[in-house]
Structure 1
Amino acid sequence: MDSHRDPFDGDEEAALRYAIALSLQDPNALASSSTAQNPIELDDSENEDDDLDDGPKCPPTPKKSTQLVDRNVKTPTTSHSVPVPQVTASGIQSSGFSALGLDRKRMEEERLARLTKRKAPHDDEISERRSQRVKIDGQSSSISLANTTDASVRIKPPQLPYPKGVVKKTWVSGYPRQDDIKIEEILQKDQLELAVLSSFQWDDEWLLSKIDTKKTKMVCIAFASSDYQKEEMRANVPRDRIRFCFPPMMPAGSMHSKLQLLKFPNYLRLVIPTGNLVPYDWGETGVMENMVFLIDLPMTKDSANPLTTFGQELFYFLKASGVDESLVNSLSKYDFSETNQYGFIHTIGQSHVGEGWQRTGYCGLGRAVKSLGLATASEVELDFVVASLGSVNTDLTSAIYNAAQGDNGLREYEKRTTGGGKKKTAQKTESSYHPDNFRIYFPSHETVSRSRGGKNGKWWDSPTFPRELVHDCKSVRSGLLMHTKILFVRHQNHGKSQTSWAYVGSANLSESAWGRLVKDRVSGQPKLNCRNWECGVLIPMESQAAKSGWEAFEKRVPIPMIVPGEAYEDALRLLWGP
């Protein structure tokens, strides 16, 4: 049955990007497209891994440039306008920091001019500075998040701004400030020493207005369609200041993760936003809001510093992305103990067999729920805010529901693959569908009709599309559209206290984002196919807030939408027809 599935899972974004990839293939590319599926280390050496999948080999689709629209961004109504640049004729030239506007020759001349104005330092000063440098230039592939850059900053560490972790809404221009946060307040450009950034969409010029590259070195976890494009991207930036890491990609996948690792003199800041590195996702156009989780980790003197489960999964995700091993290992110099209460949830864009399938996608979500003591056999209430909605089916909603109870993915998989699974009809059953306990929040029919899918969104008419689950999504900040991805899990009142929790991250509700568990044709064992790279954080509520209602979240996670959202199946069916 799976062999006849849409290879893009109804994901028009992925289909468009694949079409662009085919049109942009260059006969002078440095290597075949299949090599682009292997992780690229931060140094120039090639690290060849095994093929990712036995399926058809297609060139990876190109990362959207600053001139391509992120389809996850919801189209605004007539009362607001988001400036949307147009697609250019040359997608390669406009993508991946090619628009940085950095004149390397001029920068070198200015650097030499500054040197002539300075007095030559003593030899011991030179030695001290070299030992403290964050090594990111061509002299070494070693990059460390743990080194300080100047002995003068090693004074009594300041109190950490967010030592326990916090979730905030993003600031939006024109709205009163109320427990929100700006991108400038996250990056703190005057103190930032090293930034490891990932995003689905980049606005290069805007990003460089937020980071001082004279002070801050950058590692960008990004997408490139080929080795040729990777080299172009590397050539367009000063390599001693900005480096790239290119995760391996599935044929129709997206590098959708938005993780940030920010090194300051005395601590490391972990940031998990729902928005991309573009101005409208950070409120600067006044029409879009997102959410962000951040936690500050102090440096530790404990040589036997044990990693929490959160830290282990972060390491696992970064290594799978192809991030330089020395950079990943340097994370162990920070104290992760405060992350014990959280779960790092990820989707790694590969096919996973053996025990690996249990660590990522919706299988990893269920595993984290169980490891944090949140598993339950009782019914749960799910409210999932999404920024895009494609070919969702009842198999996926059942898998997510089960994961929220602590299931590792096998419950839905075994029901689908055994007991006449091939003859399974598209009927929705109460035992697997949960229509009364699962709500998907998505903008109303007016916004959908103005989106690129428009009235041609025929996935709505699929017999397996869970129409009854979709509810109108309205921000509590009136007039704002939402690019937020957040899942709230509550418990019905069964006469016992159970802890509610939330997921905040990059993953929308799609098989591309959460994966699909299938039977491996070679081994006959479960195999999880994931197209996208995603990451998020699972946040349990405080124990005293173990309540069945929305008040369980009021102390830790802002509720961005009006609840309960109005179901609007009838309105959409009138819009799209019978």
Structure 2
Amino acid sequence: MSLFALTFNFGWEIVIEIYVADALPEQIVYGTWMALDLGLVYTMLKHGEGEWKHAPAVGRNLGKIFTVCLLWCCWMVWAFCDWWLDESNPVNSKPGKVYKGIEGQSDTTEMAYWSALVIQVVLSVMLLAQLIVRGHSGGASYSIWAARFNGSLWGLNAYTGYCYYAWPEAHECFVSPVSICLMVSWVMADLAYVIVLRQVKRAEVEVPGGGKASRAHQKASNRLGMASSDDDEDLQRALAMSMEGSQEQPVSLDSDDEDDDLRQAIALSLKETHVANDEDRMSNKKPPIPHVECAFPSPPATQNAAQSQPAASSTTTSGIFGLDRKAMEAERLARIARLGKRKRSTSPERPSKSATKPNSQPAALETESSRAAPSPLQYPRGAIKRTWAVKHPRQNDIKIEEVLQASTLKLAVLSAYDLDAHWLFTKFDPKVVKQVWIGSHKDKATQDQWRAEAASCGIKMHFPPMDGQIQISHGKLMLLIHDTHMRIVVSTANTQREDWGETDPDPRSGAMYQAACLENSVFLIDLPRRPNGELGKREDLTFFGQGLLQYLEALKLSDYGILKFDFSNTKHIAFVHSIAGVHTGKSREVTGLPGLSTALRALNLDEANQLELDYASASLGALKEGFLKHVYTAACSNPDLPYDKVPSDFLDRLRIYFPTHETVINSSGSKDCGGTITLNRAYYNAATFPKKILRQYNSIREGVLSHNKLLFARGHRTKEQTPFAWAYVGSANLSESAWGLQKTPKKGEKLEKVTLRNYECGVLIGVPTESIDKLELGTGAIPPMDVFQGALTLPFEYPGKTFEGKQPWLCE
């Protein structure tokens, strides 16, 4: 039942029972109705939040909203009854009518009739509207409708009709035009309800947990990772033939050739399918009709939610991607036959090769004011942006469409912990853009299934080495290759809707009505393609280029396609990574926390004597003082400040930004958007957890939660006493899994090993000296947080509030 209709009806029963009814039979009847409605109220308050997921602010405050509505409805009904029953001036008093022992005083039958009839019309119309809008029959049934309809029909229409028949002089109002209009209206609405209910039941589907949803809404809400139990085993075997040895062979990043073995395997699978269909026809069994359209959406320019195709038949096979694979394979083979090698059917218009000549002393990072007119290289020296957030003003932010530049995109290499296929397919067409996806699954069976599903969509699915203690591939990296340039994107965001500031669209209009619930940060830089297909030398790469290549090789993406692009504009930044595994010797110095220290030396940001660190982390590990001391020494990158000489009060110079429980609950997405923000309750309650360094993460965009992984460092160098500042933007949360486990060294002992469980990547950016000089700081002074303004927008309120007894957002 709709919220307002329920409160209106319940409020009427309360007032009539307590204020109006004076005879025992009336009190029993109204009291019974109230008791029945109490069950509805309890059910609505218990399960209502789940029905209001599209508007979490309503869901989490449902009890308060119901209470306010009920009080108002009671007030309104009471005011009406008090006006009608005024003993000094009664409304429409009639001879023979008795109320409270007084004859001819007030006609309570007519008063109750008019008030109940208006409420009945509101109730019936709103129930019909609710069923149409929701598109599913959750909480509704034919028996519930029949009980409600018959009760109202006999208790209102039939009863008043009998009263008129038995005593027409006192009940002429029942046959007035207004009365007839209202009685017919609610009856027609209720009859329409049962017709709509029948249609809705035909089109709805069951969702996990036993609930129901409209087929269109469920199709729009599907996410990657839902595996079907009816996978085509013959097809999987055929696809597996094409992928034998795929883990051992590095993936090429710059090849335009189709996989001939894969095409043959798919063709073999389809041939076997046709044979099976022939056998079915010979045995008079009608085979299922495949859905011949490609199941993933068309490019966004030609599709909207209202034009989406109906879901395939339940007999059609589907898998992790939720796609009709056989039909897509048939379409794909036909496309190969038409186009031969992977080519575009029409070449996109190439952007102009003219670019604004950079200044002789460009800023370290691109800003809105420093960027000139549009050109193929929008960010030749890099930029840090916030992700766009729906329903929030735009300021130094970027949409996923603006990142991808899909109209000229040729090859996309996407790495993230969470990949949402359905959402990605609305951003670029996998039939046009060659794609390599880097996944994070550890077990071979799941990897093989992902490879098979991805291959059926023309996507190469790749998994880095995941043996031993390796947990996940968590790096958020995009290599977006165009004819004119390669865009390198390093972010804190997964490739899914919520991480890029979007929310679930309305199934009918496609509009996003819910405000953004998550925010992230993005570093991106455009590198021009070398002329005439020239291939650069590995030894000539900048420190940034060397780090990127090391990371790609560790992922087994070792083709040197990136050497076709010019890295000369990356001297002022560093690519920082964590390569999962155990590292000793030289390999230890380039990854994890030791790699961070090496990068700082390369950018001349080392030898810090005193350092202030501010870390915004979406997840926190089992933090202990020993690990945080390793973080501090790595960030100082000072050989004169080894582990055993770190000041005992170093935690006073470290702040960790994390949301409180209250912040998550009161956010735009409430607790549903807190799933990727994690701090284990056992970790937090441990005596060794440094609670005093926690600060509240409150976004400057109200109601938005953070998925950022940002490290801001400010200090001064030991020898020159010159101030400096730098920032890290990447995938690494504050944990040993991300940055590396190192033992506590003895005095004077040199660390020789680091153990990393995750693949991570990020970018290190120093604040230009000229920006710091403008602050006119004194000798030995540490720059304020304002030093980062201009290079990026600080996404959270600073200085952060202490927790002051509040609990962080915890998980079990």
Deviation at 1:402, TM superposition (A): 1.1
The equivalent residue for 2:424 is 207
Find out whether 1:461 has 2:677 as its counterpart: no
Paired letter, 1:568? F
Deviation at 1:463, TM superposition (A): 3.0
The equivalent residue for 1:562 is 797
Deviation at 1:366, TM superposition (A): 0.8
**Cα shift readout 1:367-410 (whole Å, capped 9, x = no counterpart):** 10111100124111100001012311111211111111115899
Greater Cα shift, 158-167 or 534-543: 158-167
**Cα shift readout 1:533-578 (whole Å, capped 9, x = no counterpart):** 10000011111122511221111121000001011153339999xx
Q: Which of 443, 455, 458 does residue 241 from structure 1 map onto?
A: 458
Deviation at 1:99, TM superposition (A): 2.8
Q: Which of 546, 555, 578 does residue 321 from structure 1 map onto?
A: 555
Q: Which of 17, 35, 42 does residue 251 from structure 2 map onto?
A: 42
For residues 646 and 638 of structure 2, the distance between their equivalents in structure 1, rounded to whole angstroms, comes to 18
**Cα shift readout 1:501-521 (whole Å, capped 9, x = no counterpart):** 10000000000010012499x
**Cα shift readout 1:149-190 (whole Å, capped 9, x = no counterpart):** 979859745441111100000001100111210001111211
For residues 459 and 361 of structure 1, the distance between their equivalents in structure 2, rounded to whole angstroms, comes to 22
CA contact (8 A) 2:576 2:591 kept: yes
Find out whether 1:185 has 2:402 as its counterpart: yes
For residues 253 and 36 of structure 1, the distance between their equivalents in structure 2, rounded to whole angstroms, comes to 22
CA contact (8 A) 1:42 1:244 kept: no
The equivalent residue for 1:442 is 658
CA contact (8 A) 2:629 2:646 kept: no
SS in 1 for 2:448: helix
Find out whether 1:470 has 2:694 as its counterpart: yes
SS in 2 for 1:468: helix
For residues 399 and 335 of structure 1, the distance between their equivalents in structure 2, rounded to whole angstroms, comes to 35
The equivalent residue for 1:221 is 438
Greater Cα shift, 313-322 or 247-256: 247-256
Bigger relative contact order, structure 1 or 2 (CA pairs below 8 A, ≥6 apart) = 1
Deviation at 1:320, TM superposition (A): 0.6
For residues 155 and 478 of structure 1, the distance between their equivalents in structure 2, rounded to whole angstroms, comes to 40
For residues 273 and 574 of structure 1, the distance between their equivalents in structure 2, rounded to whole angstroms, comes to 23
For residues 388 and 94 of structure 1, the distance between their equivalents in structure 2, rounded to whole angstroms, comes to 31
Q: Which of 523, 527, 531 does residue 297 from structure 1 map onto?
A: 527
Greater Cα shift, 373-382 or 528-537: 373-382
Q: Which of 711, 732, 735 does residue 510 from structure 1 map onto?
A: 735
For residues 37 and 517 of structure 1, the distance between their equivalents in structure 2, rounded to whole angstroms, comes to 33
The equivalent residue for 1:550 is 785
For residues 248 and 655 of structure 2, the distance between their equivalents in structure 1, rounded to whole angstroms, comes to 37
The equivalent residue for 2:88 is none
Greater Cα shift, 253-262 or 538-547: 538-547
Paired letter, 1:201? D
**Cα shift readout 1:472-511 (whole Å, capped 9, x = no counterpart):** 0000112111111101111269994322110000000000
Note closer, same or farther for the CA distance 1:110–1:346 as it changes in structure 2 (3 Å cut): same
Q: Higher helix proportion, which one?
A: 2
The equivalent residue for 1:486 is 710
* TM-score normalised by structure 1 residue count: 0.70
Note closer, same or farther for the CA distance 1:154–1:167 as it changes in structure 2 (3 Å cut): closer
For residues 713 and 613 of structure 2, the distance between their equivalents in structure 1, rounded to whole angstroms, comes to 5
CA contact (8 A) 2:542 2:571 kept: yes
Mark the runs of 5 or more structure 1 residues left unpaired by the alignment.
1-19, 45-92, 116-125, 135-148, 416-428
CA contact (8 A) 1:172 1:284 kept: yes
CA contact (8 A) 2:613 2:653 kept: yes
SS in 2 for 1:379: strand
For residues 359 and 187 of structure 1, the distance between their equivalents in structure 2, rounded to whole angstroms, comes to 30
Note closer, same or farther for the CA distance 1:229–1:259 as it changes in structure 2 (3 Å cut): same
CA contact (8 A) 2:616 2:657 kept: yes
The equivalent residue for 1:16 is none
Paired letter, 1:480? V
The equivalent residue for 2:478 is 260
Deviation at 1:270, TM superposition (A): 0.1
Paired letter, 1:308? T
For residues 443 and 557 of structure 1, the distance between their equivalents in structure 2, rounded to whole angstroms, comes to 21
For residues 360 and 151 of structure 1, the distance between their equivalents in structure 2, rounded to whole angstroms, comes to 40
Find out whether 1:571 has 2:806 as its counterpart: yes
For residues 38 and 241 of structure 1, the distance between their equivalents in structure 2, rounded to whole angstroms, comes to 18
Note closer, same or farther for the CA distance 1:474–1:463 as it changes in structure 2 (3 Å cut): same
Matches within 5 A, 1:126-141: none
Q: Which of 577, 583, 592 does residue 352 from structure 1 map onto?
A: 583
Paired letter, 1:517? Q
SS in 2 for 1:193: strand
The equivalent residue for 1:104 is 328
CA contact (8 A) 1:104 1:237 kept: no
* TM-score normalised by structure 2 residue count: 0.51
Note closer, same or farther for the CA distance 1:107–1:564 as it changes in structure 2 (3 Å cut): same
Paired letter, 1:203? D
CA contact (8 A) 1:36 1:227 kept: no
Note closer, same or farther for the CA distance 1:571–1:407 as it changes in structure 2 (3 Å cut): same
Aligned-pair identity in percent equals 36
The equivalent residue for 2:754 is 528
Deviation at 1:343, TM superposition (A): 0.8
SS in 2 for 1:373: coil
The equivalent residue for 2:379 is 162
CA contact (8 A) 2:470 2:580 kept: no
CA contact (8 A) 2:633 2:641 kept: no
Paired letter, 1:444? T
For residues 444 and 246 of structure 2, the distance between their equivalents in structure 1, rounded to whole angstroms, comes to 10
Paired letter, 1:512? S
CA contact (8 A) 2:661 2:808 kept: no
For residues 383 and 518 of structure 2, the distance between their equivalents in structure 1, rounded to whole angstroms, comes to 21
Mark the runs of 5 or more structure 2 residues left unpaired by the alignment.
1-224, 253-258, 260-317, 355-374, 504-515, 666-670, 776-782
The equivalent residue for 1:7 is none
Note closer, same or farther for the CA distance 1:380–1:359 as it changes in structure 2 (3 Å cut): same
Note closer, same or farther for the CA distance 1:508–1:101 as it changes in structure 2 (3 Å cut): farther
For residues 409 and 282 of structure 1, the distance between their equivalents in structure 2, rounded to whole angstroms, comes to 42
Find out whether 1:310 has 2:544 as its counterpart: yes
CA contact (8 A) 2:618 2:678 kept: no
The equivalent residue for 1:54 is none
For residues 454 and 153 of structure 1, the distance between their equivalents in structure 2, rounded to whole angstroms, comes to 44
For residues 187 and 573 of structure 1, the distance between their equivalents in structure 2, rounded to whole angstroms, comes to 35
CA contact (8 A) 2:593 2:634 kept: yes
Deviation at 1:235, TM superposition (A): 1.7
CA contact (8 A) 1:399 1:409 kept: no
CA-based RMSD of the aligned residues comes to 3.8
Count of residue correspondences: 449
SS in 2 for 1:404: helix
Matches within 5 A, 1:276-287: 276-285=494-503, 286-287=516-517
Note closer, same or farther for the CA distance 1:510–1:154 as it changes in structure 2 (3 Å cut): closer
**Cα shift readout 1:232-282 (whole Å, capped 9, x = no counterpart):** 222223469311221112435111111000001100000001010110000
Find out whether 1:501 has 2:726 as its counterpart: yes
